[in-house]
Each structure stands twice: as C-alpha cells, then as structure tokens.
Amino acid sequence: MAQKIVSNRVKEYEGYLDYNYRPTKEDLVCEYFIQPAKGISLEGAAQRVASESSIGTWTDIDTLSQKMFNELSPKIFFVDKKRGVIRIAYSKELFEESNVSQILSSVAGNVFGMIDVDKIKLMDIDFPESFIKHYRGPYYGVEGVRKIMGVKHRPFVGTIVKPKIGLSESSHASVAYQAWVGGCDYVKDDENLTSMSFNNFYNRVNLTLKAMSKAEKETGEKKAYLPNVTAPFKEMKKRAEHVISQGGEFVMVDVLTLGWSAVQELRNMDLNVVYHGHRAMHAAFTRDPCHGISMLVVAKFCRLIGIDQLHIGGMVGKMYEGKEEVKSVGEAIEQKVVKQNLATHRLKEEWHDLKSMIAVCSGGLHPSKVAPIIHGMGRDVIIQAGGGIHGHPRGTIAGATAMRQAVDAEMQGYTAQEYAKTHSELKEALEKWDKPIANKKVNTKTRIIKRK
C-alpha cells in the first residue's frame, strides 16, 4: 500500500535559534567557535551544529515529531558574528548524566567532520547542576594533596625522570633519589614510560619507593613518587594496587590516551590514591585555535571525573600555548564558582561540592621560569622540570636544589638573580638557561578568534 506523503515534518536545520532563551541551571551549555563553509551563514552553520549534536540529521525525517522537537531541540541563544562565537543550551534529557563518553559523542562528536563548517572548536562547556552533583570529582584535591605532603603555602617542585625512556629500574630509582635529596617534592615517570623490557613497572616501583623512603629519612621532608600506571584497564588496576601495597600514595594516568571511561572507573574504585593526570595527545585537538576542543573543556571533564592534579601547560615553557589561556584554565579548575569571561571563552560554572584540582605546569621549565609561573598561577601549583633539572651543569642533585632555591627566592620576596648571589646551584642554572631564546616567538596574547 502506498504511504501518504507527510508535509508537516520538522525541517532539517531550522528552529534552533532562540535569542530570547535564557539557559537554566539544568541546561548543558556549550560555546563553539565556528567558521562556516562558503555560502553558509554563521546562524545556518550553528543550526547544523545544534542539530547534528542532538536530535537531527541532514534531511527531514518521518520519525521526528514536532512534539519531540519542541521538547528536546537545543537552543542557540547567543551568536557573536564578529568573533564567530555561538552558544547552545541543551536540555539535560539529551544526555546520560554519568556517561562522559556519551556527552562527548553528542557535543564533541560528528560536528567536527561536517562539510558545512570549515572549522569548529568546542571552547567551553557548562554542566547542569544535577550532573555536577552526580560526579565525585577529585578525592584529595588541593587541600588533600597539601595535607599528605605537609606543605602549607609554597608551590611544589617536581621532576620527570629523564631520559623519558631508556633507564633501567635501578638507574631510575637512583635519579629519583637524587632529585628528592636535591629538593624535589615530586618525582614522576614520563608519559611514555610504562613497563618496558629493560624497565619493568613492578621492579621500578619497588626500587623507587625504597629510594623515596631513604630520601624522606635523610631530608626530613615528605616526598611523592608518581608511577605511570597507564595500561589496559585490568593491568592498570593491578599496577595501581601494587603501588598502594608498596606504600605509594600517588599514581599517574595519561588521561586522554587511556580514555575517559577507564580513568573514571579507576577513580570510582576508591583506591584512595592521588591521581596525577598527564594530558599527552591533547594538542591534537587543543592546538588549533579554530578547530578541535579547548584545554578548558578537557580540564573540566578531568575535574568532573576526579583527577586531583592536572597538567595544564607550562605557561612560559616549550609547548605551544597562550599565557592567558593557561591562567584561565588554572582558575577554572581551582575555583568553586567560575565567572564568565568572553575574552578567554569561559562560561560561568558552579562546581558545588566538587573539590578543586591542583594545576601542574610543565614543559621546558627551569629556575628562571619559576617566578613568572607563580605570578601567573599563584601558589597552588606543581612546577615540574625534567630537562631543567637533569640538565644542570652539575647534574640532578644540583638541578633540583636550584629549582627549589628559585621557589624559595620567590617565597621570600627575592628575584632569582638576587638569590643566586648566595646560592651557587641557582647561579649556575641561571647562567646556563636565563637567556632570551633567539627566533622564538611565543604568542601569549589572549586568543580571541577573528573570523576570516
């Protein structure tokens, strides 16, 4: 039997604009930068994005009723044509509240491949109040980490054992020991060091934690070792449990290469360890200012699922990023109520009872970078240097001492140069690294994106 042709279908890519709409606390709001494809207006592109990220598809369909559309269609309530910025409010019914993967598959999924947009970047996301309350967030957070470490006010100094990969278990433990006695609070594995033929995870953990106890006794300071437990889930859990059985209180996870679900599951096991989140791979989608997902969004999901301390950028180091951007992400992970800021693409956010994460600054850092980091990020920060410690002219112990001296200088109100007059390790580090780097142009301007 021939079917009747229905004429009152919901039109594809229409009906999503609603400038009078004011998002409620229960909406999920996304800010996108969009550069539409040729021949498509910003509003047109925005409607396509709203549709593809929720209930629609490229054509009208018989199965989408007007009633369903009225109940579920997201609302584009803000369009800034000059900047190419739009905001969409989604009904929370479109999401499974505890399923990060589903949320991302919606608002950060197909939209990146649509031919109707040349570029699109998810700049920020504001979660519904009930979602925030549903997640457990960091177990320790800034306060918890300070309590474990017994360090009340100053920033933490950390190092990454270098070379990234190549040392045996005993050499690794020995380098770690030198870093701790030199003055580091933290020593961590690098992002690509897991369990290698020449450096087995379990042996490395045993030897390095032993070296840590020795350093603690000798220095009278609490120290932390952050072994990289990144692995397929079952093995990762086994590795984390091994760390705990040996007295370790911290583990490191490569959040993005592991995947959200694995990290969320590990955190929800209540192993009572501090989770240090490395963000390896983030630049594949954060680096382009006009396309991908911002670090702010990555960081907010990390806080939601319970990372305690997260790499957010070196600010003045070797990686590509804007200073203001790093600062803004730092504020978003530390504050309870985050204020909206159009210049840094930040939406407002209320974190309710979720604890804050401590920012980790890393990448090309050395003692003369310490002051600008503290000025920009405040004292709740872990300043990590790999090359900037092991590359000291007199090696790791002196390198760690110099980094710690740079922090002490700042805490006591001296410049690094002043403090170096009476501290030889710092002096030698500054002589080696405190030079302007030729031909290196770092764009530290706030990245307000202009449309072509």
Within residues 155-214, the interface with Mg ion by CB under 5 A covers 190-191
- For position 385 contacting ligand CAP by CB under 6 A, the verdict is yes
Q: Does 311 bind ligand CAP (CB under 6 A)?
A: yes
Task: Single out the residue of 25, 133, 134, 164 in contact with ligand CAP (rule: CB under 6 A).
Answer: 164
C-alpha–C-alpha distance, residues 75 and 202, integer Å: 52
- Alpha carbon 261 to chain centroid distance? 16
Q: Please tell me whether residue 97 binds Mg ion under the rule CB under 5 A.
A: no
Buried b (16+ CB within 10 A) or exposed e, 243-265: beebebbbbbbbbbebebebbbe
Question: Comparing C-alpha atoms, which of 185, 155, 150 is closest to residue 358?
Answer: 155
| Position 365 contacts ligand CAP (CB under 6 A) | yes
DSSP one-letter code for 63: T
Residue closer to ligand CAP, measured from CB, 84 or 289: 289
Q: Which one of 121, 162, 327, 392 is the catalytic residue?
A: 162
164 or 445: CB nearest Mg ion? 164
Stretch that binds ligand CAP, among 12-20, 41-49, 285-293, 379-387 (CB under 6 A): 379-387
**CB under 6 A: which stretch of 112-120, 226-234, 301-309, 312-320 binds ligand CAP?**
312-320
Q: Which residues pair with 310 in a beta bridge?
A: 277, 359
For residue 369, state whether it binds ligand CAP (rule: CB under 6 A): no
Choices 197-205, 236-244, 314-322, 349-357; region in contact with ligand CAP by CB under 6 A: 314-322
- Which among 49, 249, 18 has a CA at the least distance from the CA of 149? 249
Residues that contact ligand CAP, how many (by CB under 6 A)? 19
Query: What CA–CA distances, in Å, run from 151 to 109, 221, 367?
Result: 42, 9, 20
Whether 214 is a known active-site residue: answer no
CB contact at 8 A, 375 and 330: no
Q: Which residue type, as a one-letter code, is found at position 293?
A: I
Stretch that binds ligand CAP, among 47-55, 65-73, 79-87, 360-368 (CB under 6 A): 360-368
DSSP H or E stretch at residue 300: helix 295-305
- Total number of residues that touch Mg ion (CB under 5 A): 2
Binding of Mg ion by 31 (CB under 5 A)? no
Concerning whether 4 is annotated as a catalytic residue, the answer is no
Helix (H, G, I), strand (E, B) or coil at 158: strand
Name beta bridge partners: 153: none
For residue 189, what is the DSSP state?
-
363 forms part of the interface with ligand CAP (CB under 6 A): yes
The footprint of ligand CAP (CB under 6 A) covers: 160, 162, 164, 190-191, 279, 311, 313-314, 318-319, 362-365, 385-388
Known catalytic residues are 162, 278
